[in-house]
Every structure is written in structure tokens, then in C-alpha cells.
């Protein structure tokens, strides 16, 4: 699956997560609650459902693995809930300090996006990915929050029914922004800085693309960045591509058990081999092409 489609599905799932957050959080009478308790619930709910929904994308759409989807939802939801509480509480403090208004509200959603972006990277245990996610998440939170707050001000005096509809639309917009814009911004930053993509050319996952941020594992295990199920001779974790200051290096995975990995039909040594643009990697009977873009 191309990166464009992955970004699209991140936006769709984020929007669904936002809608679920609106529905569940709306069951609680937060208007009558203490400000900080209400902010905590809204942040936790928005982060939980948006983070959980976006966390499912890899398993549902890319890897088509129910197990990976459930793990992604659980980890994404947990990171999202924590990030949501931290982001909106800090945003609420900024809102009070700035005297309120559009700027203060938008800042709150920006902080939510920033923390969600960091959380996604920490779940993957990649600090560089967390940094990229922070930039993308902050941008997504700012754009989604700005649209939400502008709509809120425009329809502030409308009926209660209109306000309910607006609340749903706002969280859908924020969810779509946090899913799609964060993924798009992260991809753009990684493309400029890292310039390495693995494209699956054969097997059941032909067409899938994986950006190399720090490292990418290739294998039949659904936790690998390049998931290759059903291939003959493909080990659970078969090979690892590492980003180095001088380029990209492919090495056999420590748990490969001697399963061979070939680059341009030549066996790579145990110490690894540098990759060049257009190199074809043979993992069992599945071909993967490295592209420096």
C-alpha cells in the first residue's frame, strides 16, 4: 500500500475515533463538573479513541492482522489517553494565561496533537519517530483545533441541537487532522531527512511501502515494519535495515537462524551490506526493493 493511501486511512480512522470520543464523552454531564476534572475527561476520551483508532491502521489496513490491530489499538489508546490528558491540561493552563479566546483554545488542541504525536513514536520505541510525530501532531492539532474553534464561535448562539452537531463535527475534524496531517507531516519530514523506503514487490503484501526511520525489520512476524507473511523461507525476523550517518545498512536479524538474505542475488555477509538506490532484497522467495527517496 502506498504512503498516500496509508495517510488517507490514518485520516479516516482518526475521524472515526473523534466521532466515538464525542459520543462517549458526551454521555457525561461535564458542563456541571469542576473545570479541571472535565478537561481531564475530555482529554483522556479524545486521546483514547483517536489514538486507539489510528493505532489500528497498521494492523487493519496494512498488515491485515487482527492481533496487530488489537495491539495497536491498545497501545495507541493508552498513549493517546495519557497524551490527551497532558495536552489538554497544559492547553487549559495556556488558555487561562492568555486570557482565553480563539488563540488559547487552539493552543490547547495544538498541545493535544503534540503529545499524541510524541506518544505514537514512544509506542514504537523510536525517538526520531517521536520527534517527527511531535512536529506533525502539533501542526495537526493547530489546524484541526483552529477550524473547530472558528466554527464554535460562528455558531455560538445557535440552538442546542446545532451545538451538539457542531461538537461531533469538531471532534471528527480534529481526529481526521490528528490522523492524516500527523502521518503526512511525519512522512514529509522523514522523506527529507532519512530518504529511505522499502517497497514490497512480490507476495501477498506486494505494493506495501515502509519508510525507514532509524530501522526497519523484515520478516513473517506481524510486528515487523515490513511484514511478509506466507513467503517460503522467510524467518520470523529475517533481516534489519539500519539508518546510518553514511547511508543504509542491511544485516541478517540475530534471530534469523541462518536464513539467507540476498541483495541483487548475492548473499549478504554477517556484518551487513550497504544498500544503494534500486537494490533488490530477496527475503526467502519475496522481493523487496530499496529506494532512496
Examine the domain organization and report whether 82 and 140 are in the same domain.
yes
- Give residue for cell 544498500: 275
Residues 6+ apart with CB under 8 A from 55: 72, 73, 74, 75, 76, 77, 79, 80, 120, 123
Overall number of domains in the chain: 2
Query: Is there a single domain that holds both residue 10 and residue 128?
Result: yes
For residue 63 the three cell numbers come to 498488515
Report which of residues 73 and 166 the model is more confident about: 73
The residue out of 193, 224, 249 marking a domain boundary is 193
pLDDT at 157: 63
One domain, residues 136 and 267? no
- Residue 32 shares a structural domain with residue 137: yes
> At which residue does the C-alpha cell 460562528 appear?
154
Q: Is the pLDDT of residue 144 over 70?
A: yes
pLDDT (0 to 100) of residue 100? 66
The Cα–Cα gap between 229 and 101 comes to: 52
Q: Same domain for 187 and 206? A: no
Sign of CA dihedral 186, 189, 191, 195: negative
Counting Cβ atoms within 10 Å, is residue 109 exposed (0-12), middle (13-18) or buried (19+)?
A: buried
Beta strands (DSSP E) in 6-110 are: none
State whether residue 189 is helix, strand or coil. Answer: helix
For residues 159 and 268, state if they share a domain.
Answer: no
Number of H-type helices and E-type strands within the chain: 8, 11
Give residue 158's pLDDT band: very low, low, confident or very high (50, 70, 90): low
**Whole-angstrom distance, CA of residue 13 vs CA of residue 210:** 19
- Whether 183 and 206 map to the same domain: the answer is no
- What is the tens place of the pLDDT at every residue in 190-224? 888 888 999 999 989 999 999 998 899 999 999 99
Query: Which residue, of 178, 193, 208, is where some domain finishes?
Result: 193
111 shares its domain with 243: no
**Segments forming the whole domain that contains residue 140:** 3-193
The number of C-alpha atoms within 13 Å of 80 and in the hemisphere containing its C-beta is: 26
Specify the pLDDT at position 155. 67
pLDDT band at residue 143 using 50, 70 and 90 as cut-offs: confident
Give the containing element (helix H, strand E) for 44. helix 35-55
The Cβ of residue 248 has, within 10 Å, a number of other Cβ atoms equal to 24
265 and 136, same domain (yes or no): no
**Cell output for 99:** 486570557
CB-based contact 222:229 (threshold 8 Å) = yes
Give yes or no for residue 148 having a pLDDT over 80: no
Average pLDDT over residues 264-276: 93
pLDDT value of position 160? 58
Question: pLDDT by residue (tens digit) across 211-268?
Answer: 998 899 999 999 999 999 988 999 999 999 999 988 999 999 998 888 899 999 999 9
Residue 136 has a pLDDT of 86
Res. 167: pLDDT tops 80: no
Predicted pLDDT of residue 161? 63
Q: Which of 193, 211, 244 corresponds to the end of one domain? A: 193
pLDDT digits (tens, 9 = 90+) for 110-120: 887 888 788 77
Mean pLDDT along residues 3-24: 92
CATH number of the domain that residue 216 is part of: 2.60.200.20
List Cα–Cα distances, 2 to 62, 205, 277, 287, 289, in angstroms: 10, 11, 18, 17, 14
Same domain, 210 and 262: yes
The partner residues of 262 in beta bridges, in order of sequence, read 267, 282
Q: What is the pLDDT of residue 125?
A: 66
Distance CA 54, CA 11 (A): 8
pLDDT of 24: 93
pLDDT value at residue 178: 84
Distance CA 283, CA 199 (A): 13
Q: Do 235 and 282 have their domain in common?
A: yes
* Adjacent-strand bridge partners of 242: 215, 249
Find out whether 21 and 170 touch, Cβ atoms under 8 Å: no
3 state SS of 213: strand
Is 214 strand, coil or helix?
coil
Query: What nine digits make up the cell of 100?
Result: 482565553
Residues 102 and 216 placed together within one structural domain of the fold:
no
Amino acid at each position: 500500500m502506498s504512503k498516500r493511501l496509508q495517510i488517507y486511512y490514518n485520516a479516516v480512522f482518526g475521524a472515526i475515533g473523534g466521532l466515538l470520543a464525542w459520543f462517549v464523552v458526551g454521555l457525561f454531564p461535564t458542563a456541571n463538573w469542576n473545570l479541571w476534572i472535565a478537561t481531564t475527561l475530555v482529554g483522556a476520551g479524545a486521546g483514547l479513541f483517536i489514538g486507539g483508532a489510528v493505532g489500528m491502521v497498521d494492523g487493519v489496513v496494512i498488515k491485515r492482522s487482527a492481533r496487530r490491530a488489537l495491539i495497536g489499538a491498545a497501545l495507541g489508546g493508552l498513549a493517546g489517553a495519557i497524551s490527551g490528558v497532558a495536552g489538554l491540561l497544559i492547553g487549559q493552563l495556556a488558555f487561562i494565561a492568555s486570557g482565553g479566546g480563539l488563540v488559547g483554545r487552539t493552543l490547547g488542541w495544538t498541545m493535544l496533537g503534540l503529545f499524541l504525536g510524541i506518544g505514537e513514536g514512544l509506542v514504537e520505541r523510536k525517538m526520531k519517530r517521536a520527534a517527527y510525530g511531535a512536529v506533525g501532531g502539533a501542526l495537526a492539532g493547530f489546524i484541526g483545533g483552529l477550524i473547530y474553534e472558528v466554527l464554535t464561535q460562528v455558531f455560538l448562539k445557535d440552538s442546542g441541537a446545532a451545538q451538539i452537531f457542531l461538537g461531533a463535527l469538531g471532534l471528527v475534524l480534529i481526529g481526521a487532522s490528528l490522523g492524516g496531517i500527523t502521518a503526512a507531516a511525519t512522512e514529509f519530514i522523514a522523506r527529507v531527512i532519512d530518504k529511505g523506503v522499502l517497497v514490497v514487490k512480490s507476495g501477498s503484501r506486494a505494493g506495501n511501502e515502509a519508510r525507514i526511520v532509524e530501522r526497519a525489520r523484515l520478516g513473517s512476524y506481524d510486528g515487523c515494519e515490513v511484514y511478509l507473511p506466507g513467503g517460503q523461507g522467510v524467518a520470523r525476523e529475517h533481516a534489519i535495515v539500519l539508518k546510518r550517518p553514511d547511508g543504509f545498512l542491511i544485516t541478517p536479524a540475530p534471530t534469523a537462524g541462518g536464513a539467507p538474505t540476498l541483495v541483487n542475488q548475492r548473499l549478504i555477509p554477517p556484518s551487513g551490506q550497504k544498500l544503494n538506490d534500486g537494490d533488490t532484497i530477496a527475503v526467502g522467495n519475496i522481493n523487496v526493493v530499496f529506494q532512496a527517496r
